[in-house]
A and B are shown apart, each in its own frame.
Chain A
Amino acid sequence: MTQKSLTQMTRTQKKSTQKKYHYLLAIGFFLAFVVFVALRQTSPFQIGRLDGYVASIFGGFLRTILVSFIALIGSTFTGFLLFLMSKSNNGLFRAFVDVFTEIIYGTPLLVAIIMMAWVVGPAFNTYNRPVLGVIGLIVYITPYMTNIFRSAFKSIPEEQYLAMDVFGFTNVQKYIYIIIPQVLRILMPPLMNNFSLIIKGSALLHVIAYGELFHTVGVMQSRTFGYAEGYITMWALYIIITIPLSQFTRYFERRWSLE
C-alpha cells in the first residue's frame, strides 16, 4: 500500500470518527436541553410518578402502533383506489377525486377526526368512536397516498409500456412482472414517511378518548399530577417509533437505489 493511499485512509477514518463525535455532541445537546427543562418545572420532577402506569402507557403505545398500522393499510388501499379513479376515462371519477382532494387538503386532521366522530358517525347511527376515528385518519391521509402512487407510476417511462406491448404482456402481467416491482421501490420511502405522519397524527385520537399513547399518558397525569413526567415520556415514546422508521427509510433508499 502506498504512503498516499494510507494517509487518505486515515483521513477518511478521521473524518468518520469526527462525524460520529459531531452526532454524539448534537444528541447530547438535545438530551441536556430535556434535562434542563425537566429540572426547571414548578412541580418537582419525579419520574417515579410513572410507577404503576407503565403497563397502561405501554398498552397505549401498542394501540398507537396498531391504529396507525390499520390506517396505513386502509389509506394505501383507498389512496390506490383514488389513484385509479383519477386515471379513469370517466370524467366524473376524476372530478370526484379532485374535489375530495381539495376538501381534505383544506381540513385540519383534528377537524377531520372530530367531524367523523361527532357529526358524520351519528348521522349513520353509529357512535363507535375508535372506528370512526380511524376512518377520519384514513380519509385524511388518502389524498397524500394518492399523490405517492401518482408520482411513482409517473416514474415509469413510456418506452417500457411500449416494450411490454411488443412482448405481448397482458395487463395483469404488466403490473405483476414489470410495473409493481419498480413502483414498490419508489413507493417505499414516501410510504414510510406517510406512516410516520399517521403515527404522529394518531395522537389526536385522544380527543375522542381512544386509549392510544396520548390518552393513556393523560390518564396517568390526571391521577398523579405528573404532567412534565408524562409529556416527556410520551415524547420519547413517539420518537422511539418515528426515528428508527425514518432511519430505516434512508437505509432502504440507499440499498434499493438504482444508481
Chain B
Amino acid sequence: MKKLVLVFTMFLSVFTLAACGLGDDDVLRVGMDTSYPPFETTLDGEPEGISVEIAKELGDFLGREVEIVETDFGGLIQSLNIGEVDVIIGSMSITEERAQSVDFSDPYQQFNIIGLVNQDFGDTHGIDSQSSHEEVLEIEETRFTGIVDQVSGDLPREFGFDVIEENDLGNAVTNVAQGQADVLMMSGMPVARGHVANPDSTFILYDYFEPSPIGMAVRQGEDELLNDINEFIAQMDELGVNDRLADLWENADDWIDDEDLKEAMQEFEMEYFLP
C-alpha cells in the first residue's frame, strides 16, 4: 500500500511539474493553414506569403515577436480557443457562424467569391465565363462542392444548395474537373489555379457571387488585443504596411501559370483581393 501511495505521489508531482512548464511569454502566436499560396504557404518548413508578412507587421506594431503555427483550416478556431495561438491571420472570411465562437477584427482585405465551373455542365446549361452568377443560381440541379468550414462549403447552403464537402482544395477542384460536382465557389486565386491545372474540363465564372470580407480572429473577450489589431488595420496605409506588401500583391499572380488567364483576370477587372 505504501508503495502505491508513493507511485501515485510521483505521478501527481510529474503532472504538476509538467503543468507549470509553460509560462506566459511575449510571443504573438499566429495560426494559419499554409496550403493557400500566395497568402499562406510554406517552403522547407518556413511559412511565407502575404498573410505571414501581415502577421510580422502586426508583431512589429505590437512590439511582440511572431511565431507562425501551421494548422489545417478546419482546426484554426479550435487552436485559437484552446490557447495554442493568439490570433488567426489566415484569409478567414468574417461570417456570422464563426463570430459565435471568435471575435473578428475589422476587415483587412476582401475576396470576391467567383466560380470554377465544370465544362460539360456549362455546355449543357448554356453557361460560360461571361454568364452572370444569377444564371448559375437559377439552375436548380447545380451540384456545388466546397471545403469543410470554409466559405466555399457554407455559401452554397446560404443560397439553398447542397454541398459535396471535401477536406482540401485539391479534392474540391478534382470534383469539378471530373464532373462529380458542377461548381466550386471560391476566391480568385484558388479558382484560377484550379482552372490552370484542369484547363479543358473547367472554366472560370468571373461574375462574383459575393464579396467576402477577411478579418483576423481572436478569442472572445480579448478586447485589448482586438482593439490593438483594429488600430493596426486602420493604420496599415499610414504605417507603410501596404507599400511594403505592394511587391507581394503585385507578384501574387505569378502563382497563375498561364499568361492568357492573367490577362483575362485583369480584363474582367476581377481582383483577387482588395487591400
Interface residues of A (CB under 8 A from B): 42-43, 55-56, 59, 90, 92, 118, 122-127, 207, 209, 211, 218-219, 221-223, 225, 227
B204 to chain A, nearest CB (A): 15
Q: Does B21 reach chain A (CB closer than 8 Å)?
A: yes
Q: Is the interface of A mostly helix, strand, loop or mixed?
A: helix
Assembly CA distance A67 to B177 (angstroms): 36
Q: Decide: A125 near B35, CB < 8 A? Known: A207-B72, A225-B197.
A: no
Q: Determine the residue in chain B with the shortest Cβ distance to A125.
A: B22
Assembly CA distance A56 to B42 (angstroms): 10
Among B3, B21, B43: residue with most chain A CB under 10 A: B43
Q: Is the pair B82, A118 in contact by a Cβ cutoff of 8 Å? A: yes
Q: Is the pair B82, A122 in contact by a Cβ cutoff of 8 Å? A: yes
Assembly CA distance A59 to B43 (angstroms): 11
Q: For A124, give its contact among B15, B43, B84, B194 (CB under 8 Å).
A: B15
Q: Is the pair B177, A43 in contact by a Cβ cutoff of 8 Å? A: yes
Q: Is the pair A124, B21 in contact by a Cβ cutoff of 8 Å? A: yes
Q: Determine the residue in chain B with the shortest Cβ distance to A225.
A: B197
Q: Is the pair B198, A43 in contact by a Cβ cutoff of 8 Å? A: yes
Assembly CA distance A223 to B256 (angstroms): 10
Interface residues of B (CB under 8 A from A): 3-4, 15, 18-22, 34-37, 41-45, 69-72, 75, 78-79, 82-84, 168-170, 173-174, 177-178, 193-194, 196-198, 201, 255
Q: Decide: A122 near B177, CB < 8 A? Known: A56-B44, A209-B70, A222-B35.
A: no
Q: For B169, give its contact among A126, A211, A222 (CB under 8 Å).
A: A222
Assembly CA distance A184 to B226 (angstroms): 60
Q: Is the pair B42, A219 in contact by a Cβ cutoff of 8 Å? A: yes
Q: For A225, give its contact among B21, B84, B170, B201 (CB under 8 Å).
A: B170
Report B-chain residues with C-beta under 8 Å of the C-beta of A56.
43-45
Q: Is the pair A219, B43 in contact by a Cβ cutoff of 8 Å? A: yes
Please name 30 pairs of A and B residues whose Cβ atoms are closer than 8 Å in the assembled complex, sorted by A: A42-B177, A42-B201, A43-B177, A43-B197, A43-B198, A55-B44, A90-B3, A90-B4, A122-B83, A122-B84, A123-B19, A124-B18, A124-B19, A124-B21, A125-B21, A125-B22, A126-B21, A127-B69, A207-B72, A219-B34, A219-B35, A221-B35, A221-B170, A222-B34, A222-B41, A222-B168, A222-B169, A223-B43, A223-B255, A227-B170
B274 to chain A, nearest CB (A): 23
Assembly CA distance A167 to B84 (angstroms): 60
Q: Is the pair B196, A59 in contact by a Cβ cutoff of 8 Å? A: no
Assembly CA distance A150 to B265 (angstroms): 66
Q: Is the pair B72, A125 in contact by a Cβ cutoff of 8 Å? A: no
Assembly CA distance A43 to B169 (angstroms): 14
Q: Decide: A92 near B82, CB < 8 A? Known: A125-B21, A219-B43, A223-B37.
A: no
Assembly CA distance A221 to B37 (angstroms): 11
Q: Is the pair B4, A227 in contact by a Cβ cutoff of 8 Å? A: no
Q: Determine the residue in chain A with the shortest Cβ distance to B29.
A: A127
Report A-chain residues with C-beta under 8 Å of the C-beta of B197.
43, 225
Among A92, A127, A222: residue with most chain B CB under 10 A: A222
